[in-house]
Amino acid sequence: MKLMDVLGKGFTLIGQVDSARTVDMGAILNAVKSMGNVSAVIVSEPRGMLGVANTVVVSGLVKKETGKEVICQLTCRDRNRAALLSDVLAAKMLGIDSFLVTDGGHPKISDTPQAMAVFDLDSAQLVQMLRHLSEKGETLAGHSIVGKLNIYVGTMAFPVASPIEVEVKRLERMVGLGLNFMVTYPTFNIEALNRFQSETKRLGVPVIVGVRMLQDVRDARRLNEDPRVTVPPELIDSLEKAEKLRGEEKANARLEANISFFEGFIESIKGKGFAGCSIYAPGIEQAVSQLASRLQA
Amino acid sequence: MIITVAKSDEEVKRALEPYRNIVVVGCGTCATICRTGGEDQVKEMVEKLMGWGKNVLASMVVESPCDVRIDRRDLRRIEDEVKRADAILVMSCGVGVQAVGEASGKKVLAALDTIFLGEVEHIGRFLERCRECGMCVLNETEGLCPIVLCAKGLMNGPCEDMINGKCGVVGDEADCVWVKVWERMKSEGREEDFLRVNPPLDRSVKVGAAKVVW
Ligand code: SF4
Ligand code: SF4
């Protein structure tokens, strides 16, 4: 089912997988397959890592091998407007027509700080370019495209941004350009999500809530270093308890810590007007499918 | 103001290596304000060169070495020395260095690094404010340059790296310029102006050495 049809139908679960600095597509496919029956998968770029396998190609392969609906992340960091266009056309040939557009992190705060930061277009201009392609079949410069593109464009939203009003206004600007959906930057802050929902409801664009599962207690602490993220102490506690176990028991306890926490989390945001939830569980993708069946039960 | 800083002694020394008879030219405008090419710095440089065993034929501060006409006029006063010089060491921005070269027909060397177009808050505190994009958008951005002040040069910010109104890319407590733009619009009750989408820059404007002729 196409993404926009999915987003109109109650609360949906989608998965997220990062591309990687790898030539092993198998690992990425296994990650996606172990997510189970999610309605779509976001193929994203890992934060702070420059030079991973092209998300367009990875998206195409995920779609081909798993048959899932794919949302391909596109950032403005490494590609000028021409390279972005050629990626979008190639993506379309691979059956990808949903894009998650972001500005992209600056190389300076990545693992390759010497690289040139491109930002020929910014995320608003890229949304504009994609809408233009989809509606008029033309590039921003007015060159026509052979064939039809039906493109859906989403962007990342930051419910914990401060000041939040400027973030809401930025999103409103994007909506004016024809934005189709938003995915929130992972947060554990339900209050911020609800506030965000009430402030963006009037924009009339589906909001998918981003959540981030934690591999282990170290992963939780690392994530806590981001000033915008506070991992709830009860989740850290249960991950810490898992550390005392061994082997399979430990792995299961870590999964269970995530699943039981996010079951509660998702139950409490369901019915609040969100279109669904995007679950990013790097390295523990099987937790996504277990959580999904728990939520269904 | 064009902001300059001195190159290291080693670098200047290395550049001067093949030359013995030197003329030193300073700048009476920007580099004087930056204290990198004024009377005092030229004097210090002359002493340094003599210490390195160079033969300094003449030195002078040209009012504005970026103006070829002024170079021609001022250098006339030391015409003979310039003629005999192996090289002219210019203590000005890169524009001045090249203009002195053009006016004198001599080998020119740069004593300074040109780092930005900036505002002078006070002597010793210079802040970059323009990167000469050739299609100034200050009228759309509340008089704040997004090309310099936004780490990504975004025309429609803010971005995912904004943290509590600050720029997470630059760090060091630098403000996110897009939050500043928003605040200025808001303080005047023009919040809706923030919805305007600034178009992509036309990069062809900055291809090759630009020229203005009239
Ligand atoms: S927009 Fe910025 S870089 Fe461009 S001319 Fe204006 S001040 Fe200079
Ligand atoms: S935080 Fe603000 S100033 Fe810094 S890169 Fe993002 S938009 Fe630009």
Residue B8 sits in the same domain as residue B95: yes
| B30 plus B106 within the same structural domain | yes
Q: Is A191 exposed, middle or buried (0-12, 13-18, 19+ CB in 10 A)?
A: exposed
Of B58, B87, B116, which residue sits at a domain end? B116
> Is A122 within 8 Å of B160 when comparing Cβ atoms?
no
Tell me the pLDDT tens digit for each residue of A177-215: 999 999 999 999 999 999 999 999 999 999 999 999 999
Domain identity same for B26 and B110: yes
CA–CA dist B109, A142 (Å, integer): 47
> From CA A262, how far away is CA A288, in angstroms rounded?
10
pLDDT tens by residue, A41-82: 999 999 999 999 999 999 999 999 999 999 999 999 999 999
Find, in chain B, the residue whose alpha carbon is nearest to that of A226. B163
With cut-offs at 50, 70 and 90, classify the pLDDT of residue A265: very high
pLDDT band at B172 (very low <50, low <70, confident <90, very high): confident
Co-location of B22 and B90 in the same domain:
yes
A269-291 mean pLDDT: 96
Arithmetic mean of pLDDT, B67-75: 98
pLDDT in tens, A139-152: 989 999 999 899 99
Checking if the pLDDT of A96 tops 80, the result is: yes
Look up the ipTM and state it: 0.95
Mean pLDDT across B34-53: 98
B158 and B95, same structural domain?
A: no
* B105 is a domain residue: yes
* Ligand 2 mean position, distance from CA B115 (Å): 21
- For residue B212, being part of any structural domain is answered with no
pLDDT of residue A21: 97
Q: Please give the distance, rounded to the nearest whole angstrom, from the Cα atom of residue B7 to the centre of ligand 1.
A: 27
Please report whether residue B185 resides in a domain: yes
- Where do the domains of chain A lie, and which CATH numbers do they carry? 11-296 (3.20.20.220)
Which residue of chain A has the CA closest to B161? A105
Last residue within a domain, chosen from B116, B145, B163: B116
**B99 and B176: one domain?**
no
B4-20, pLDDT tens digit by residue? 999 999 999 999 999 99
Q: Which pLDDT band, with edges at 50, 70 and 90, does A295 fall under? A: very high
- Considering the entire predicted model, what is its pTM? 0.94
How confident is residue A5, by pLDDT bands cut at 50, 70 and 90?
Answer: confident
| Least CB–CB distance from A166: residue in B158, B169, B196 | B158
> Percent of chain A, pLDDT > 70?
100
Pairwise CA distance, residues A101 & A103, whole Å: 7
Confirm or reject contact between A199 and chain B (CB < 8 A). Answer: no
Residue showing tokens 């700048």? B27
pLDDT value of position A228: 87
Q: Is residue B42 in some structural domain?
A: yes
Residues B98 and B21 in one domain: yes
The mean pLDDT of chain A is: 96
Across chain B, mean pLDDT equals 97
| Within a domain: B10 | yes
B40 and B106 together in one domain: yes
Query: How many domains does one find in chain B?
Result: 2
Q: What residues in A contact B197, CB-CB < 8 Å?
A: 124-125, 128, 173, 176-177
- Indicate whether B93 and B36 sit together in one domain: yes
Same domain, B9 and B95: yes
Which of B23, B66, B75, B14 has the alpha carbon at shortest distance from B45?
B23
* pLDDT the model gives residue A3: 83
Which domain covers residue B190, as residue numbers? 133-203
Q: What is the mean pLDDT of residues B59-66?
A: 98
Q: Are A200 and A168 in contact (CB under 8 A)?
A: yes
Same domain, B76 and B167: no
Q: Which of B165, B169, B178 sits opposite A162 (nearest CB)?
A: B165
DSSP reduced 3-state for A16: strand
Of B163, B169, B195, the CB nearest to A176: B195
CATH no. for residue B21? Answer: 3.40.50.1860
